[in-house]
A and B are shown apart, each in its own frame.
Chain A
Amino acid sequence: AQSVTQLGSHVSVSEGALVLLRCNYSSSVPPYLFWYVQYPNQGLQLLLKYTTGATLVKGINGFEAEFKKSETSFHLTKPSAHMSDAAEYFCAVSDSGANNLFFGTGTRLTVIP
């Protein structure tokens, strides 16, 4: 069975500070991993994904994530937070044989001016 754990339902950072959102997954087979962002009153948008190959994945808006198999993690980072990054972020896992995505419970990011 697959599952995702996002540590911290709320994260606050100052504008310009490092953003680190944590995601750990559980999967019995090589996973496909995703980060989605949800802005207020909108649906989810894909930030980045890991399927195979390079373990450091770059996404939109300056975000990146690193797949660490030994730690079963896929943490999302951004070197310098911007006010427009305030949103809710979801980590999700799937695998090649699955027909659905399993989402984490989400992390709400607040950026303090």
Chain B
Amino acid sequence: EAQVTQNPRYLITVTGKKLTVTCSQNMNHEYMSWYRQDPGLGLRQIYYSMNVEVTDKGDVPEGYKVSRKEKRNFPLILESPSPNQTSLYFCASSTVLGPNQPQHFGDGTRLSIL
């Protein structure tokens, strides 16, 4: 089954404690992306990757890091989380044509930073 898998689904942690949210896709997609969803703001892109070892900033990259060492994986790293990063996070992937093709979304990761 084609899917994008995020882990964990829920996490409560404290300010300053490094965390990583993993994202893996089994569709051999080149393009992967991270979004955060906040009430009244919709989805905003954090980072995206056009292919292995190619990453770029989206609209709200501050406080986040990503890496793309393998095609299937695109982890989101919060080196020093802060309360304003409390949000619902989605990973998405699509074919080499990028966002002009439908993106497949994971089920989301709800992060609470205390």
Contact = CB atoms under 8 A, between A and B. Distances in A.
A14 interface: no
Interface of B: 4, 33, 35, 40-45, 48, 50, 56, 58-59, 90, 92, 98-100, 102-103, 105-108
A28 interface: no
A56 interface: no
Interface residues of A, number: 25
Contacts of B58: 100
A32 B100 contact: yes
Interface string A71-96: 00000000000000000001000111
Please name the 4 residue pairs, one residue from A and one from B, whose CB atoms are nearest each other, closest first.
A43-B105, A105-B42, A103-B43, A46-B102
Given A9-B40, A43-B105, A99 B98 contact: yes
Given A43-B92, A46-B102, 19 more contacts: A36-B105, A41-B107, A42-B107, A43-B4, A49-B102, A90-B42, A90-B43, A94-B99, A94-B100, A95-B100, A96-B100, A99-B48, A100-B45, A100-B58, A101-B45, A101-B103, A103-B42, A103-B43, A106-B42
A105 B58 CA distance: 17
Contacts of A25: none
Given A100-B48, A101-B45, A105-B40, A46 B100 contact: no
